[in-house]
Amino acid sequence: MNVYAPILMLGGVALAFALVSVVLAAIVGPRRHNRAKLEAYECGIEPLPPTAGMVQRFPVKYYLTAMLFIIFDIEIVFLYPWAVAADSLGWFGLLAVGLFLVNVSVAYAYEWRRGGLRWD
């Protein structure tokens, strides 16, 4: 049990900090509610009233931004373990990460070509 004591203490401190922060924000924070704050967050698109048979279309830019996030998120997730074990992997690891980066570069080029990097 002595081995797990620091982990349990850190978890307890994190939980206490989270609870104290939420309670203090509710007590001390300002209470200026208005219509815009009480509405659901719609990423800058004005919500349409729900009517029968009406479908709201989202611009492609939202999907391109999500795809850009996924491309770079997956790249970072897979490059960290490779960077840690790069010495022991040798040439095979270098070739594997090279092919992975080529694959990610194709997705990046597609995103760039479709205009996902323009923040108008």
> pLDDT digits over 71-110, tens only?
788 888 888 888 888 888 889 988 998 998 898 888 888 8
Query: Are 89 and 83 contacting, i.e. CB atoms less than 8 angstroms apart?
Result: no
More confident site: 109 or 39: 109
Is a pLDDT exceeding 90 seen at residue 2? no
Mean pLDDT over 42-57 rounds to 62
Say if residue 28's pLDDT is above 70.
yes
**Cα–Cα dist 74/118, whole Å:** 21
57 in Cβ contact with 45 (< 8 Å): no
The pLDDT value recorded for residue 51 is 62
- The CA radius of gyration of the chain, in Å to the nearest whole number, is 23
Specify the residue for token string 């004005």.
46
